[in-house]
Amino acid sequence: MNRLAHETSPYLQQHADNPVDWYPWGDEAFTKAKAEDKPVLLSVGYSACHWCHVMAHESFEDEATAAIMNDLFVNIKVDREERPDVDEIYMQAVQMMTGHGGWPMTVFLTPEGKPFYGGTYFPREARYGMPSFQQVLEGVIDAYRNRRPQLEKMANELSGSLQREKLAIGGTPDDLNADLLTAAASKLTAAYDKQYGGFGGAPKFPQPMNLEFLLREYQRTGSADLLDMVTFTLQKMARGGMYDQLGGGFHRYSVDAIWLVPHFEKMLYDNAQLSRVYLHAYQITGEAFYRTIAEEIYDYVLREMTSADGGFYSATDADSEGEEGKFFVWSKAELDELLGDDARIAVEYWGVSARGNFEGHNILFVPNDEAVAAERLGLSVDELRAKLALIKDKLFAARTQRVHPGLDDKILTAWNGLMLASLSEAARVLDRADYRVAAERNATFLRDHMVTNGDRLLRTYNHGIAKGNGYLEDYANFIDALIELYQTTFDEEWFTLAQALATAALTHFRADDGGFFDTSDDHETLITRPRAMQDNAIPAGSSMFARDLLRLVAYTANADYDEAARKALSILSAALREYPQAFGEALSAVELIVMGIDEIAIIGEPDEAKPMLDAVQKLYRPNAVVALFPTDVEGEASIPLLNYRSMRDGLPTAYVCRQFACKLPVTTVEALEKEL
């Protein structure tokens, strides 16, 4: 076993018995590199990454390759999910050197940590115009020994180009206007795939942040075309092979343009964000389809991705028994054997064939509407649904007997925040007490294990150990979740924690030019302080935090929050207009500025005030925040929106305000709806 045996990351532990003398990221490795004058080989990946497994099997488990690595390099293995800062810095470097990036990422560094050569996957044998990994190792060490001055010059220049102290991309607060939103929506519309939904071609990613922005734009403009783009995309995704038709939950992305063949890993962050989009589509349309998909995702996460103490796990692997997707695919013969006469229903409904649609097997998908399938089978739609419920149960039970994909059971604060936010919102929208209980358990777990000193966060938890400085995305996503949980429970503890974390984030992450760094001012010093502005698989931390701050302003009237949010967004305004597909979260935050926020204070017991709460919360109102207190507030409250509020005539009473200027209080649902 090498040094990774003591790590809590499942990805690092996967490499603990490699013959490679791996070090975790840290001073020990760089001290050794300096003392022995060896370059550092940095390998970055994550547990659910298929090609990471391939490279590990081909090279890192190979004695001959490991001998070269151990003799010539100091080798560091990093889980990108635990260390997004290291991943961000060196991924930027690889993209500058090669024009593309991905995982596994292989980067060669000087003993000072400066990158000079890199790439992604390197094969065991040279093929497809790619050198073998051993050839790469030999070429790198030759350059390091024989062309050192040129190599160090390039490393210094590349490191300099990674600096992010000043972004200098322009923009003012005046640029955050309705015209910007319209222009961004227009560009997203131009990239829309009218035939299959989504944006662009293969590979196709779900892009939940952009779908959320388009729902907000529909709310702002009333454009039916924008709503149709989102709902059509949601239908196509949920009927495709990217969605687990038996167990619920989405795979990472589709390798094709039609949502059929996925990369089979399931990530918590995708399911957190997509469940929320489907929930919002249900709020807008009232169509049961969207509610069903949202509930199937929540139920999957609570069944398979939740620890005994309420934390949410990170991911499940794409592979099982060494084969990608083996757990999820079916042959027609298997269905015939398991289902008997009902096999014809499964074959018709899920597009199953003897040939298969994936390496001789079938990924289940829904090629036709229920009505079409029912007609072909000679059934009513209700009869088809009843049959499918039984068939799904039978197939799901059979699937549980298979070898399951590996589980990455580390618990990340940022990703838990995404899931907690969605689950908290679903609890009140769908009147699901079980979702509320799960949300409160998760928040309690995060509070007890991931919060230190009352206002600072840790990044990762596993095997009873919480560690790692929290990143901006950890603060931003957890604050968002706490605001949502407060609006479901009206337990002020959650709001108080949200405000404490926001104040700490402003103190420790703010940049001089406006906006925020990804790492705190007391974080480990790296070759640069990373500052990722674009959304990736999860929202950019700075954009989510800006949206948090704007919502906290609506509760507190804190001018510092407002100024910080507007500065962070204004320095991006030119980029938002030009490349909206990379800034969906920031655009949603801008929409809050353009449209303003309804600040709603309700005084009354939650049960008695529920009709009022439902009037506010059941419909899609992305620009509304709610505070509630059960009795009259005689003076100043811990939430300033509640200051001096009282009931009228002993009835639950609602105050609808904007920038703390309020309309007359109302005591009926009809009057409240009119004011909204």
pLDDT profile of the chain (676 residues), mean per 10: 93 97 97 98 94 95 97 98 97 94 96 96 89 96 97 95 75 90 97 97 96 98 98 98 98 97 96 98 98 98 98 95 94 97 97 96 97 96 97 98 96 98 98 98 98 97 97 98 98 98 98 93 96 95 98 97 96 93 98 97 97 98 98 95 96 96 95 95
Instruction: Indicate the residue type of 451.
Output: V
Cβ–Cβ under 8 Å, residues 251 and 262: yes
- What's residue 409's pLDDT? 97
Q: Is residue 315 packed enough to be buried (19+ CB in 10 Å), middle (13-18) or exposed (0-12)?
A: buried
Residue 535 covered by a domain: yes
Residue type, 7: E
Q: Do 333 and 221 have their domain in common?
A: no
* pLDDT value, residue 674: 95
Whichever domain contains 28, its CATH number is 3.40.30.10
- Report CA Rg, the chain: 26
Cα–Cα distance for residue pair 50/501, rounded to 1 Å: 36
Do 77 and 66 sit in the same domain of this protein?
Answer: yes
Is 464 in the same domain as 475? Answer: yes
Is residue 380 domain-shared with residue 452, that is, in the same domain?
no
Q: CA quadruple 46, 50, 51, 56: dihedral positive or negative?
A: positive
Nearest to 564 by CA among 582, 542, 580, 596: 542
Other Cβ atoms closer than 10 A to 676: 15
What pLDDT is attached to residue 244? Answer: 98
- How far apart CA 340 and CA 70 sit, in angstroms, is 57
The amino acid present at 219, given as its one-letter code, is: Q
Q: Which of 401, 430, 449 delimits the end of a domain?
A: 401
Rounded CA separation 530/549 (Å): 21
Q: Are 117 and 186 in contact (CB under 8 A)?
A: no
Q: What is the pLDDT of residue 282?
A: 98
Q: How crowded is residue 444: how many other Cβ atoms within 10 Å of its Cβ?
A: 14
The CATH number of residue 488's host domain is 1.50.10.10
167 within domain boundaries: no
Are residues 204 and 291 located together in one domain of the fold?
A: yes
The CA-atom distances, in angstroms, between 553 and each of 38, 114, 383, 558, 564 are 52, 41, 52, 5, 11
Residue 213 falls inside a structural domain = yes
Residues 635 and 566 in one domain: no
Same domain, 430 and 368: no
- How many other β-carbons are positioned within 10 Å of the β-carbon of residue 369? 12
Return d(Cα 639, Cα 629) in angstroms, integer: 10
Are both 54 and 112 inside the same structural domain? yes
**How far, rounded to the nearest angstrom, does the alpha carbon of residue 386 sit from its chain's CA centroid?**
34
Angle subtended by helix axes 268-285 and 413-429, to nearest 10 = 20
Q: Which residue do the tokens 């962050």 mark?
A: 269
Identity at 429, one-letter amino acid code = V
Same domain, residue pair 429 and 567: yes
Q: How many domains does the chain have?
A: 4
Task: List the domain range (segments joined by +) for residue 649.
Answer: 598-675
Q: Map residue 532 onto helix, strand or coil.
A: coil
CA 442 vs CA 28, 272, 461, 491, 618: distances in Å: 35, 13, 13, 15, 23
Domain boundary among 595, 620, 642: 595
- 147 Cβ contact partners less than 8 Å away, ≥ 6 residues apart: none
Q: Of the candidates 138, 139, 110, 105, which has an alpha carbon nearest to the alpha carbon of residue 122?
A: 105
Same domain? For 515 and 535 the reply is: yes
Q: Which two tokens stand for residue 458?
A: 């840790």
CB 110 within 8 A of CB 124: no
Cis check for the bond before 104: say yes or no (omega within 30 of 0).
yes
Q: How many CA atoms lie within 13 A of 400 on its CB side?
A: 8
pLDDT at 171: 76
Burial of 401 (0-12, 13-18, 19+ CB in 10 A): exposed
Spatial separation of the C-alpha atoms in residues 605 and 607, rounded to whole Å:
6
- Asked if the structure places residue 391 within a domain, the reply is yes
166, part of any domain: no
| One domain, residues 141 and 186 | no
Q: What is the DSSP letter of 642?
A: G
**DSSP line for 46-75:** -TT-HHHHHHIIIIIT-HHHHHHHHHH-EE
Residue 122's CB is within 10 A of a number of other CB atoms, namely 19
434: in domain: yes
Q: In this structure, what token pair is assigned to residue 233?
A: 């995309």
**Does 551 fall in a domain?**
yes
Single residue among 541, 572, 595 that ends a domain in this structure: 595
Long-range contacts for 593-596 (Cβ within 8 Å, ≥24 apart)? 593/176, 593/550, 593/565, 593/566, 593/569, 594/176, 594/177, 594/178, 594/181, 594/220, 595/220, 595/623, 596/623, 596/658, 596/659
Question: How far is residue 284's CA from residue 615's CA, in Å, rounded to a whole number?
Answer: 14
Instruction: Return left, alpha or beta for 494; rule: phi > 0 is left, psi -120 to 50 is alpha, else beta.
Output: alpha
Count of other CB atoms within 10 angstroms of residue 495: 22
CB atoms within 10 A of CB 267: 25
* Residue 226 shares a structural domain with residue 253: yes
SS3 (DSSP) at 205? coil
What whole-number distance in Å separates Cα of residue 536 and Cα of residue 103? Answer: 14
Q: Pinpoint the alpha helices (H) of 528-572.
A: 541-556, 559-570
Q: Which of 613, 493, 606, 589 is nearest to 540 (CA)?
A: 589
Q: Look at residue 578 and tell me if it is in a domain.
A: yes
